[in-house]
Amino acid sequence: MAIKTVVFDAYGTLYDIQSVASVTDQAFPGHGDMITQIWRMKQLEYTWLRSLMRRYEDFQVVTRQSLIYTLRILGLRYEDALLEKIMDKYVHLDLYPDALPALTHLQGRKLAILSNGAPAMLTALVRNTGLDRLLDKTISVDGQKTFKPSPEAYSLIESELGTVPSEVLFVSSNPWDAIGAKAAGLNVAWIERVTPEVMAAACESSSLVAPLTMFKALRMQMDELGPAPDHRIQGLCDLAGLLPPIASA
């Protein structure tokens, strides 16, 4: 069956989550990389724990709590104003350079985001980066009060867009998200931005593993959980080879 709808993850797929380092390093010189990696890993961990415990709080709360955890365990003092300044980066994340060309190429199909992000966070981020002009819908898991990779989160695609799973291509660079979407019955393209060969070279180049290298090892390599994505691509622009443009009527 033809792909009629392409749904993207937001954080780490369309938006470079590592771009928060520009504000964390400015706020705490010399600690920016460590803050960025611990913050993201703890943020994801909190989404999974809250889903398992059935104690849902939206992504704004989860993001704030994981940032507070990170600063506390690193012994870094902060005032509320500084915390808010760092948090504000989440509605001004940098787009990956290939995001706009990829979305432009796919015009003619229904395009959407399905994200863990809270509705207000996503609306501001999409508007601030101009993607509101290219997307048909931005869907938050808040509609199901559980985070990806819960199957209930992916069910929002059909209920919100009216497209059956067999006609959807879900795109994510997060391995756990790609596996979750595949387990939920969607066609999946995983963006393999960091290959095992690159990881091996990074680990061999130094006896000390940098925080970003550790993050890539833990969060950007395909997991051993069973379901595999239908497609492995190196970037968003590779979608052009999977989905030809739709001719104008």
- Going residue by residue through the chain (249 aa), what tens digit of pLDDT does each one get? 589 999 999 999 999 999 999 999 999 999 999 999 999 999 999 999 999 999 999 999 999 999 999 999 999 999 999 999 999 999 999 999 999 999 999 999 999 999 999 999 999 999 999 999 999 999 999 999 999 999 999 999 999 999 999 999 999 999 999 999 999 999 999 999 888 787 777 767 666 678 888 888 888 888 999 899 999 999 999 999 999 887 654
> Quick one: 11 and 33 in the same domain?
no
Domain count, the chain: 2
Cα 133 to Cα 29: distance, rounded to the nearest angstrom: 36
- CA distances (Å), origin 164, targets 36, 109, 155, 187, 191: 37, 14, 10, 11, 23
98 with 235: CB under 8 angstroms? yes
Residue 118 falls within a domain, yes or no? yes
Residue 246 falls within a domain, yes or no? no
Amino acid letter, residue 164: V
| pLDDT of res. 37 | 95
188: domain range? Answer: 5-16+92-241
Cα 164 to Cα 155: distance, rounded to the nearest angstrom: 10
Cα 59 to Cα 153: distance, rounded to the nearest angstrom: 14
> Quick one: 83 and 99 in the same domain?
no
> Quick one: 74 and 184 in the same domain?
no
> Quick one: 212 and 186 in the same domain?
yes
Nearest to 157 by CA among 144, 139, 171: 139
Domain finish residue from 56, 90, 124: 90
> Quick one: 34 and 135 in the same domain?
no
DSSP 166: G
Q: What is the CATH classification number for the domain harbouring 98?
A: 3.40.50.1000
| pLDDT of res. 207 | 63
Q: How many angstroms separate the first and last alpha carbons of the chain?
A: 21
Q: What is the CATH classification number for the domain harbouring 33?
A: 1.10.150.240
Instruction: Give the neighbor-by-neighbor strand order of the sheet with 187-191.
Output: 137-140, 110-115, 5-8, 168-172, 187-191, 231-233
> Quick one: 52 and 107 in the same domain?
no
| pLDDT of res. 29 | 96
> Quick one: 49 and 153 in the same domain?
no
> Quick one: 114 and 210 in the same domain?
yes
- Residues whose CB falls within 8 Å of the CB of residue 67, separated by 6 or more in sequence, listed in order: 39, 43, 83, 86, 87
- CA distances (Å), origin 50, targets 58, 139, 171, 175, 178: 10, 20, 24, 19, 20
> Quick one: 48 and 126 in the same domain?
no
* Cβ burial 83-114 (10 Å sphere, 16+ → b, else e): eeebbebbbebebbebbbebbebbeebbbbbb
> Quick one: 134 and 220 in the same domain?
yes
Residue 31 falls within a domain, yes or no? yes
- Torsion sign (Cα): 222, 228, 231, 237: negative
> Quick one: 115 and 183 in the same domain?
yes
Residue 106 falls within a domain, yes or no? yes
Block residue for tokens 């939920």: 184
> Quick one: 78 and 155 in the same domain?
no
Alpha helices by DSSP H, 54-98: 59-73, 80-88
Which residues carry out catalysis? 9
Residue 78 falls within a domain, yes or no? yes
| pLDDT of res. 249 | 45
Residue 249 falls within a domain, yes or no? no
Domain finish residue from 33, 57, 90: 90
